[in-house]
């Protein structure tokens, strides 16, 4: 091969190496960006799990039998009927 051909081959190989290096850099940056996004989403998921647990606890507190009975009596003025006021309906 002549010297000019060697220069062309070296230039092409140099460009291939440079392109490969840029591809690696781009891929690495994409991986970092995706990892950061994953970390944010994981944190958001954990926060939502905590909130969900708190809401479940609150719901179970609001729905206890004693509380429902107290609200029915105090707020709505409901009372337990006397036995003489009860009517049993046969199907």
| Amino acid 46: pLDDT | 98
Record the tokens describing residue 32, joined without a space.
């970092």
| Amino acid 42: pLDDT | 98
Question: Is 59 part of any domain?
Answer: yes
Query: Is 67 within 8 Å of 73 (Cβ atoms)?
Result: no
What is the number of domains present in the chain?
1
Strands (E) across 1-91 are located at none
Question: Is 47 part of any domain?
Answer: yes
Q: pLDDT tens per residue, the chain (91 residues)?
A: 788 899 999 999 999 999 999 999 999 999 999 999 999 999 999 999 999 999 999 998 888 888 888 988 999 999 888 888 888 898 8
Question: Is 35 part of any domain?
Answer: yes
Question: Is 84 part of any domain?
Answer: no
Question: Is 88 part of any domain?
Answer: no
Domain of 49 in residue numbering reads as 3-79
Count of alpha carbons within 13 angstroms of residue 80, beta-carbon side: 3
Question: Is 86 part of any domain?
Answer: no
Q: Is the pTM of this model over 0.75?
A: no
């Amino acid at each position: 091969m002549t010297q000019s051909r060697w220069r062309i081959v070296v230039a092409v190989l140099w460009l291939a190496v440079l392109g490969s290096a840029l591809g690696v850099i781009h891929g690495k940056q994409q991986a970092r960006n995706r990892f950061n996004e994953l970390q944010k989403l994981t944190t958001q998921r954990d926060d939502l799990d905590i909130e969900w647990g708190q809401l479940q606890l609150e719901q179970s507190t609001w729905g206890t039998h004693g509380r429902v009975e107290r609200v029915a009596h105090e707020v709505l003025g409901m009372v337990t009927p006397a036995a003489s006021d009860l009517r049993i309906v046969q199907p």
